[in-house]
Amino acid sequence: MTPPGFFVLELRRLLAALFAAGTLWLATQDWKLALVALVLVLAICWGWQLARVYRWFADPEQMPPISNSGLGGVLRDVYALRSRDTVAAKTPARSQSYLTDSLASMRDAALIINSDGRLVWCNDAAEYLLDITLEEEEGKPFSDVAPGKSLKRYMREENFQKPLRIKPGPDPEYCLQLEFSRFGANDRLVFIKDVTEQDKLERMRRDFVGNVSHELRTPLTVIKGYIETLQSLMPESDERLIKSLGSMDIQTARMESLISDLLWLSRIESVEGVRKDDQLDLVDLLTHLCDEMRAAWPGRKIELVTSSNLCVLGNAAELRSAISNLIVNALKYSEAPVSVKWSDTVVGPELLVEDQGPGIDPKHIPRLTERFYRVDKSRSQATGGTGLGLAIVKHVAVSHDAKLFIDSELGKGSTFRLVFPNDRAVSCEVCSTESRRADVGQ
């Protein structure tokens, strides 16, 4: 609303102009000349004010030119609002400028991409690692600057909890690790590390384990064959030798199981970063697995409860291996019935395997998924375990974006939960039968 002082001042100007025009009319007795003078005086007065206002609009950084009227108050309010907006607009720019100045002095590689995924800025270290120049690549999609299907999918899904490894250049061994974090309105700050040596060492370790395990298979098969031959030729009267050969046979079987688990774990690790999108009916898979377990453990009761009709996107052989390891562990460490449940939760479908065994001390739970870690070595040897079952479960969970939760209490049993994210759950209306034909490759 226009302030009252504005109308008072303008009324005074109008009365002054009328007085001047009336005086001219009394002096000349020419009303036309008086009317022209009135219009001319008002035009000059108001035109002069408008000219000052337009000049201020052209350079609004200065104080408003009119300060003795209500219009001056309106202009001062406009000036104050604009100044506040200008300061607010400059603050993010100053923050980003400070950030880029700080990152430019870092030895670590860093870059900034905007909400559209386009490269905005990068420091010298990032230019070196990516073999680019900011002048040429600025404004281009980051997935084109560092090409690769995995990067495009990673940025499209916007799940930045885990870092991404890419191999951007022609050298197949050159490997970079990208870590994304959000900042500002919707920009992304990306840190880049050269992990070529680390990736090479991990690959060498996997290859070593796989190659050694594979090479041990042949001599172990020969040893097992000779043991079986000796057992068939040994007279029943020589009990001591029969017992020795029986012990050798048991240990050979354990070695075979250990080598199979090592080979399978090595295979899972080698394809851990590969997307697994087969549509699997977990109800069907669990039904077949439980039937097989009942046949292998005829004296044990396995209860299967399925309240979810969702399928899971993944690899049938890996999931089959992980679930069978959980069920076998429950059967080995408990004499009571084992419960297997497939149900829906808020975060996604959940597989639960519950036993009523002796339970696990809470201090051991954080290390249960480590390779060869044993809570009770004597009991593990008695049950014939390899110490790799839960390590396999953990790697399968990671490769399927799932979480493994372990709850246990001494004397009351243990519960193992495999929770899949909602983006890996799909309707089972048109589900593949891959789960039925799963070949675990062991």
Q: What confidence tens digit (pLDDT) does each residue in 298-327 have?
A: 888 999 999 988 899 999 999 999 999 999
More confident residue, 75 or 126: 126
Q: Taking Cα atoms as reference points, which of 165, 166, 164 lies closest to residue 148?
A: 166
Crossing angle between the packed helical segments 70-104 and 4-28, to the nearest 10 degrees: 130
Give the pLDDT band of residue 442 (cuts 50, 70, 90): very low
This prediction has a pTM of 0.62
276 C-beta neighbours (distance < 10 Å), count = 19
pLDDT at residue 432 in the model: 44
Nearest to 383 by CA among 412, 355, 361: 355
Can you give the pLDDT at residue 76? Answer: 55
Instruction: Check pLDDT > 90 for residue 418.
Output: yes
Cα separations in angstroms, 238 against 61, 224, 235, 252:
108, 20, 6, 21
Cβ atoms within 10 Å, residue 169:
15
Please tell me the predicted confidence (pLDDT) of residue 65: 55
Mean pLDDT, rounded, for 331-340: 89
Asked if 401 and 312 count as a contact pair (C-beta separation under 8 A), the reply is: no
Question: Coil, strand or helix: which one is 139?
Answer: coil
What average pLDDT does this structure show over 24-43? 73
State mean pLDDT over 267-295: 84
Note the pLDDT of residue 215: 82
Q: Report the mean per-residue pLDDT for the chain.
A: 79
Question: Can you tell me which residue has the tokens 């930045």?
Answer: 160
pLDDT, tens digit, 9 for 90 and up, residues 378-412: 555 555 667 788 989 998 998 888 999 999 888 88
pLDDT value of residue 146: 86
Confidence class of residue 81 from pLDDT cuts 50, 70 and 90? low
Quick check: 122 and 111 in contact, CB under 8 A? yes
- Structure confidence at residue 1 (pLDDT): 45
Predicted pLDDT at 319: 92
Phi, psi of 400 (to 5 degrees): -110, 15
CA gap 421, 347 in Å, rounded: 6
Q: Which domains does the chain have, with CATH numbers?
A: 4-89 (no CATH), 106-194 (3.30.450.20), 201-270 (1.10.287.130), 278-437 (3.30.565.10)
DSSP 347: S
Q: Is 350 helix (H, G, I), strand (E, B) or coil?
A: strand
Please report which helix (H) or strand (E) contains residue 278, including its range.
Answer: strand 278-280
Other Cβ atoms closer than 10 A to 355: 24
Residue keyed to tokens 């390779």: 371
3-state secondary structure of 64: coil
* Cα 272 from Cα 314, distance rounded (Å): 12
Whole-number Å distance between alpha carbons of 405 and 419: 8
Selected residue with higher pLDDT from 16 and 247: 247
Q: In 220-244, which positions are buried (b, 16+ CB within 10 angstroms) versus exposed (e)? A: beeebeebeeeeeeeeeeeeeeeee
Residue 57 pLDDT > 70, yes or no? no
- Residue 62 above 80 pLDDT? no
CA angle 374, 375, 380 (to 5 degrees): 60
Q: To the nearest whole percent, how much of the chain has pLDDT over 70?
A: 76
The DSSP annotation for 169-181 comes to SS-TT--EEEEEE
